[in-house]
Amino acid sequence: MIGSFIRNGFDRSAFFVILVLVAAAFVVPALALYTTPASPFHIPGYAIPLMGKYLTYGLLALSVGLIWGYCGILSLGHGAFFALGGYAMGMYLMRQIGTRGVYGDPVLPDFMVFLNWDELPVAWYGFQSFPYAMLMVVLAPGILAFVFGWFAFRSRVTGVYLSIITQAMTFALMLGFFRNNLGFGGNNGLTDFKDILGFNIQAPETRAALFAASALALALAYLICKSIISSRFGKVIVAIRDAESRTRFLGYRVENYKLVVWVLSACMAGIAGALYVPQVGIINPGEFEPANSIEVVIWVAVGGRGLLVGPIVGAIVVNFAKSWFTTGALAPYWLFALGGLFVGVTLFLPKGIMGTLGGGWTALKQRRASAAAEAGVSVTDTDGPDGGRLKTEPAE
């Protein structure tokens, strides 16, 4: 069952995307660890967590692309799920510090000692265990998404109203996490991590492993998303995107379908957050900022939401540009550039980078195919760039 589910989604384009990610997972760490700085192929150590961070953003963007591009749900609050996953990982990392904190308390993280707390809040129980923390990485965003989606989809909140309440959700969480007495470190958040699974978090090998984990997680998530959109479930969510009431009158429970993709997407965002935190070394309530979630939507739009690779490419390209921009004299103008990029893409590349490239590719193949047909050769391979299984364009 699972086998045929995966086989269904595993076409040529999926193979290519997964190949690139898996290759990156091994080649990039190898180049960083086993080449000398003199080598032209050397990747400097500082670049690894940076690139790893881009990949986690890619995963976050993929989660938004799945629900927005394929189910028409525009979330302006996905940063919240990312941050919750990040906090779950951060709590594990905090508890690994142990007696190495400034106050040397074996159980309580520094900020709790500082606040004169004398016992660990219940929410922190269990986080010394890595498997438990990883479960929470998925469950915390998953449960929030389930509760939110249950009410929102059942009461048929759609379109811009839904977007607004997702934004309100992340804003409310931000305010909550800023408060010291919520017990998650207040506005300083969680930081000063020492090690993960017993390995020094700063060591080049650990960073390389985290990079590889991010690339593999992205590859796996991509494969799952691809299989979903290639299944009948995928056809139903596209149907919901294009004609929701038609789908209802055919007897589909639209709210259930939306809930399933929504929760899945939130869990993916949570995993992205969990991989992000050890690579950047901090998680604070700023991650819940509404602006962050809006930025994700821009990455998706820039990359193209009609295809699953679009959001990934968009996240990497925009963040690479951001790093490049904000380290130079142009730093103060980054937000203008981002805004300009969004407007430009919306006006001139409504299908985003990948949608436009893909469209050109399909057109070229069609031209070749018809030329070949004229020449009397039968062309069986009519797959588009995304397998041709699901031709999607951004919903109106």
List strand residue ranges (DSSP E) for 222-366, in order: 282-283
The C-alpha torsion from 310 through 147 and 165 to 393, rounded to 10°, is 30
Please list every residue from 257 through 316 that binds another protein, using CB under 8 A. Answer: 257, 260
List strand residue ranges (DSSP E) for 164-230, in order: 190-191, 195-196, 199-200
DSSP string, 366-377: HHHHHHHHHTT-
The residue among 104 and 159 lying less far from another protein, judged by its C-beta, is: 159
Residue 45 backbone phi and psi in degrees, to 5: -55, -40
| Residue 381 binds to another protein (criterion: CB under 8 A) | no
Of 33-41, 112-120, 132-140, 386-394, which part binds another protein (CB under 8 A)? 386-394
Of 122-130, 207-215, 230-238, 344-352, which part binds another protein (CB under 8 A)? 230-238
The residue among 207 and 389 lying less far from another protein, judged by its C-beta, is: 389
CB of 156 to another protein, least distance (A): 10
Burial of 132 (0-12, 13-18, 19+ CB in 10 A): middle
CB of 360 to another protein, least distance (A): 18
Q: Which of 242, 330, 368, 371 binds another protein (CB under 8 A)?
A: 242
Residue (of 300, 320, 211, 264) closest to 81 by Cα position: 264
Of 107-115, 140-148, 198-206, 226-234, which part binds another protein (CB under 8 A)? 226-234
Residue (of 60, 53, 54) closest to 79 by Cα position: 60
Residue 191 backbone phi and psi in degrees, to 5: -160, -165
Distances 205 to 24, 163, 241 between C-alpha atoms, Å? 15, 41, 44
CB of 16 to another protein, least distance (A): 23
CB of 125 to another protein, least distance (A): 33
Q: Which of 115, 160, 197, 243 binds another protein (CB under 8 A)?
A: 243
| Residue 239 binds to another protein (criterion: CB under 8 A) | yes
CB of 59 to another protein, least distance (A): 21
For residues 149 and 137, give the distance between their C-alpha atoms in angstroms, rounded to a whole number: 18
| Residue 158 binds to another protein (criterion: CB under 8 A) | no
Token readout for 13 is 């384009």
CB of 187 to another protein, least distance (A): 40
CB of 181 to another protein, least distance (A): 40
For residues 80 and 269, give the distance between their C-alpha atoms in angstroms, rounded to a whole number: 9
CB of 356 to another protein, least distance (A): 17
| Residue 4 binds to another protein (criterion: CB under 8 A) | yes
Q: Which of 158, 180, 191, 231 binds another protein (CB under 8 A)?
A: 231
Between 244 and 263, how does the x/- string for binding to another protein read (CB under 8 A)? Answer: -xxxxxxxxxx-xx--x---
List strand residue ranges (DSSP E) for the chain, in order: 190-191, 195-196, 199-200, 282-283
| Residue 1 binds to another protein (criterion: CB under 8 A) | yes
The residue among 227 and 293 lying less far from another protein, judged by its C-beta, is: 227
CB of 4 to another protein, least distance (A): 6
Residue with tokens 């308390």: 105
| Residue 233 binds to another protein (criterion: CB under 8 A) | yes
CA terminus-to-terminus distance, the chain: 35
Of 195-203, 207-215, 233-241, 351-359, which part binds another protein (CB under 8 A)? 233-241
| Residue 238 binds to another protein (criterion: CB under 8 A) | yes
Residue (of 232, 214, 285) closest to 62 by Cα position: 214
Of 100-108, 225-233, 307-315, 366-374, which part binds another protein (CB under 8 A)? 225-233
DSSP string, 322-359: HHHHHTSTTGGGHHHHHHHHHHHHHHH-TTHHHHHHHH
| Residue 232 binds to another protein (criterion: CB under 8 A) | yes
**CB–CB of 196/206 below 8 Å?**
yes
Binding site for another protein (CB under 8 A): 1-2, 4-5, 8, 228, 231-233, 235-236, 238-239, 242-243, 245-254, 256-257, 260, 391-393
